[in-house]
Structure 1
Protein backbone atom coordinates (compact mmCIF):
# COMPACT_ATOMS: atom_id res chain seq x y z
CA UNK A 1 0.00 0.00 0.00
CA UNK A 2 1.40 3.38 -0.95
CA UNK A 3 0.82 6.21 1.47
CA UNK A 4 2.71 8.99 -0.27
CA UNK A 5 5.26 9.18 2.54
CA UNK A 6 7.70 6.59 1.18
CA UNK A 7 10.79 8.79 1.11
CA UNK A 8 10.47 9.32 4.88
CA UNK A 9 9.33 5.80 5.80
CA UNK A 10 11.17 3.72 3.20
CA UNK A 11 13.06 0.67 4.41
CA UNK A 12 16.35 -0.63 3.09
CA UNK A 13 17.50 -4.19 2.53
CA UNK A 14 20.48 -3.68 4.80
CA UNK A 15 21.96 -7.17 4.61
CA UNK A 16 21.98 -7.07 0.82
CA UNK A 17 23.50 -3.58 0.92
CA UNK A 18 26.14 -4.86 3.35
CA UNK A 19 27.19 -7.77 1.11
CA UNK A 20 27.24 -5.58 -2.00
CA UNK A 21 29.43 -3.11 -0.10
CA UNK A 22 31.78 -5.88 0.99
CA UNK A 23 32.01 -7.01 -2.63
CA UNK A 24 32.79 -3.45 -3.73
CA UNK A 25 35.28 -3.09 -0.89
CA UNK A 26 37.18 -6.15 -2.08
CA UNK A 27 37.36 -4.77 -5.63
CA UNK A 28 38.40 -1.30 -4.43
CA UNK A 29 41.24 -2.79 -2.38
CA UNK A 30 42.30 -4.96 -5.31
CA UNK A 31 42.13 -1.98 -7.70
CA UNK A 32 44.14 0.25 -5.38
CA UNK A 33 46.90 -2.34 -5.00
CA UNK A 34 46.90 -3.35 -8.66
CA UNK A 35 47.08 0.23 -9.97
CA UNK A 36 49.74 1.17 -7.42
CA UNK A 37 51.89 -1.79 -8.53
CA UNK A 38 51.27 -0.99 -12.20
CA UNK A 39 52.54 2.56 -11.77
CA UNK A 40 49.19 4.28 -12.28
CA UNK A 41 48.98 6.64 -9.28
CA UNK A 42 45.88 8.50 -10.52
CA UNK A 43 43.82 5.35 -10.77
CA UNK A 44 45.23 4.08 -7.48
CA UNK A 45 44.09 7.30 -5.75
CA UNK A 46 40.66 7.01 -7.37
CA UNK A 47 40.29 3.45 -6.11
CA UNK A 48 41.58 4.55 -2.71
CA UNK A 49 38.90 7.24 -2.47
CA UNK A 50 36.28 4.69 -3.48
CA UNK A 51 37.69 2.37 -0.81
CA UNK A 52 37.18 5.12 1.78
CA UNK A 53 33.59 5.81 0.69
CA UNK A 54 32.71 2.11 0.76
CA UNK A 55 34.27 1.71 4.21
CA UNK A 56 32.10 4.55 5.55
CA UNK A 57 29.04 2.94 3.95
CA UNK A 58 29.83 -0.42 5.58
CA UNK A 59 30.17 1.28 8.98
CA UNK A 60 26.81 3.06 8.55
CA UNK A 61 25.07 -0.14 7.44
CA UNK A 62 26.51 -2.12 10.36
CA UNK A 63 25.41 0.61 12.76
CA UNK A 64 21.87 0.49 11.39
CA UNK A 65 21.78 -3.31 11.58
CA UNK A 66 22.89 -3.21 15.21
CA UNK A 67 20.20 -0.65 16.06
CA UNK A 68 17.60 -3.31 15.61
CA UNK A 69 14.32 -3.87 13.81
CA UNK A 70 13.56 -0.19 13.29
CA UNK A 71 16.27 -0.16 10.64
CA UNK A 72 16.09 -3.77 9.60
CA UNK A 73 12.57 -5.04 9.88
CA UNK A 74 11.75 -8.71 9.71
CA UNK A 75 8.51 -10.52 9.07
CA UNK A 76 7.41 -9.90 12.65
CA UNK A 77 7.77 -6.09 12.42
CA UNK A 78 4.66 -4.41 11.04
CA UNK A 79 4.97 -1.66 8.42
CA UNK A 80 5.00 1.95 9.47
CA UNK A 81 1.63 3.50 10.06
CA UNK A 82 0.63 5.97 7.38
CA UNK A 83 0.89 9.60 8.52
CA UNK A 84 -2.33 11.12 9.75
CA UNK A 85 -3.80 13.51 7.26
CA UNK A 86 -5.49 16.62 8.50
CA UNK A 87 -9.15 17.43 7.78
Structure 2
Protein backbone atom coordinates (compact mmCIF):
# COMPACT_ATOMS: atom_id res chain seq x y z
CA UNK A 1 0.00 0.00 0.00
CA UNK A 2 1.22 3.49 -0.75
CA UNK A 3 1.99 5.73 2.17
CA UNK A 4 1.72 8.92 0.14
CA UNK A 5 5.37 9.98 0.36
CA UNK A 6 6.79 7.83 -2.44
CA UNK A 7 7.45 10.71 -4.84
CA UNK A 8 9.80 12.23 -2.27
CA UNK A 9 11.51 9.00 -1.18
CA UNK A 10 11.41 6.68 -4.19
CA UNK A 11 14.72 6.51 -5.99
CA UNK A 12 16.08 4.07 -8.51
CA UNK A 13 19.76 3.14 -8.38
CA UNK A 14 20.08 2.74 -12.15
CA UNK A 15 23.50 4.35 -12.35
CA UNK A 16 24.82 2.07 -9.62
CA UNK A 17 23.26 -0.93 -11.35
CA UNK A 18 24.83 0.22 -14.64
CA UNK A 19 28.26 0.42 -13.03
CA UNK A 20 27.92 -2.97 -11.38
CA UNK A 21 26.72 -4.54 -14.62
CA UNK A 22 29.68 -3.05 -16.51
CA UNK A 23 32.05 -4.34 -13.82
CA UNK A 24 30.47 -7.79 -13.99
CA UNK A 25 30.60 -7.77 -17.78
CA UNK A 26 34.32 -7.00 -17.72
CA UNK A 27 34.99 -9.82 -15.25
CA UNK A 28 32.82 -12.29 -17.17
CA UNK A 29 34.57 -11.48 -20.45
CA UNK A 30 37.94 -11.84 -18.75
CA UNK A 31 36.89 -15.15 -17.21
CA UNK A 32 35.64 -16.44 -20.54
CA UNK A 33 38.89 -15.59 -22.27
CA UNK A 34 41.13 -16.92 -19.49
CA UNK A 35 39.23 -20.19 -19.10
CA UNK A 36 39.17 -20.71 -22.87
CA UNK A 37 42.93 -20.14 -23.07
CA UNK A 38 43.54 -22.41 -20.06
CA UNK A 39 41.60 -25.23 -21.69
CA UNK A 40 38.59 -25.36 -19.34
CA UNK A 41 35.65 -25.33 -21.76
CA UNK A 42 32.97 -25.88 -19.11
CA UNK A 43 34.01 -22.83 -17.11
CA UNK A 44 34.44 -20.84 -20.31
CA UNK A 45 30.86 -21.68 -21.31
CA UNK A 46 29.61 -20.74 -17.85
CA UNK A 47 31.37 -17.39 -18.07
CA UNK A 48 30.05 -16.88 -21.60
CA UNK A 49 26.51 -17.39 -20.30
CA UNK A 50 27.25 -14.76 -17.64
CA UNK A 51 28.49 -12.42 -20.39
CA UNK A 52 25.16 -12.76 -22.21
CA UNK A 53 23.07 -12.27 -19.05
CA UNK A 54 25.13 -9.28 -17.93
CA UNK A 55 25.05 -7.69 -21.39
CA UNK A 56 21.26 -7.99 -21.51
CA UNK A 57 21.01 -6.49 -18.01
CA UNK A 58 23.30 -3.64 -19.02
CA UNK A 59 21.22 -2.99 -22.15
CA UNK A 60 18.01 -2.87 -20.09
CA UNK A 61 19.55 -0.48 -17.56
CA UNK A 62 20.86 1.83 -20.29
CA UNK A 63 17.43 1.76 -21.95
CA UNK A 64 15.77 2.71 -18.64
CA UNK A 65 18.27 5.53 -18.04
CA UNK A 66 17.63 6.93 -21.53
CA UNK A 67 13.87 6.88 -20.96
CA UNK A 68 14.32 9.68 -18.47
CA UNK A 69 12.16 10.45 -15.46
CA UNK A 70 8.65 9.06 -15.33
CA UNK A 71 5.54 10.68 -13.94
CA UNK A 72 5.28 10.50 -10.19
CA UNK A 73 2.17 11.84 -8.48
CA UNK A 74 2.49 14.85 -6.20
CA UNK A 75 1.44 15.36 -2.61
CA UNK A 76 -2.14 16.06 -3.61
CA UNK A 77 -2.64 12.46 -4.81
CA UNK A 78 -4.04 10.36 -1.96
CA UNK A 79 -2.63 6.92 -1.09
CA UNK A 80 -4.15 3.96 -2.81
CA UNK A 81 -6.80 2.03 -0.99
CA UNK A 82 -5.82 -1.52 -0.07
CA UNK A 83 -7.17 -4.23 -2.34
CA UNK A 84 -10.15 -5.87 -0.74
CA UNK A 85 -10.90 -9.52 -1.13
CA UNK A 86 -14.41 -10.65 -2.00
CA UNK A 87 -14.99 -12.23 1.40
CA UNK A 88 -14.05 -8.98 3.25
CA UNK A 89 -17.18 -7.12 2.11
Kindly tell me the number of residue pairs found equivalent between the two proteins: 75
Of Structure 1 and Structure 2, which has the larger fraction of its residues in helix?
2
The runs of at least 4 consecutive aligned structure 1 residues that moved more than 3 Å come to none
CA distance in 1, matches of 2:60, 2:80: 30
* TM-score, normalised relative to structure 1: 0.72
Q: What do residues 20-73 of structure 1 show as CA deviations (whole Å, max 9, x unaligned)?
A: 0000000000000000000000000000000000000000000000000129x9
Matched, 1:52 2:57: no
Cα distance in 2 for residues equivalent to 1:82 and 1:41? 57
Tell me the equivalent position of 1:18: 18
| RMSD between aligned residues | 2.9
Matches of 1:43 and 1:65, distance apart in 2 = 32
Q: TM-score, normalised by structure 2?
A: 0.71
Q: Which runs of 5+ in 2 are unaligned?
A: 83-89
Q: Which has the larger radius of gyration?
A: 2
Structure 2 equivalent of residue 32 of structure 1: 32
Which structure's relative contact order is higher, taking Cα pairs within 8 Å and 6+ residues apart? Answer: 2
**Residue 11 and residue 38 in structure 1: after superposition, are their counterparts in 2 closer, same or farther (change >3 A)?**
same
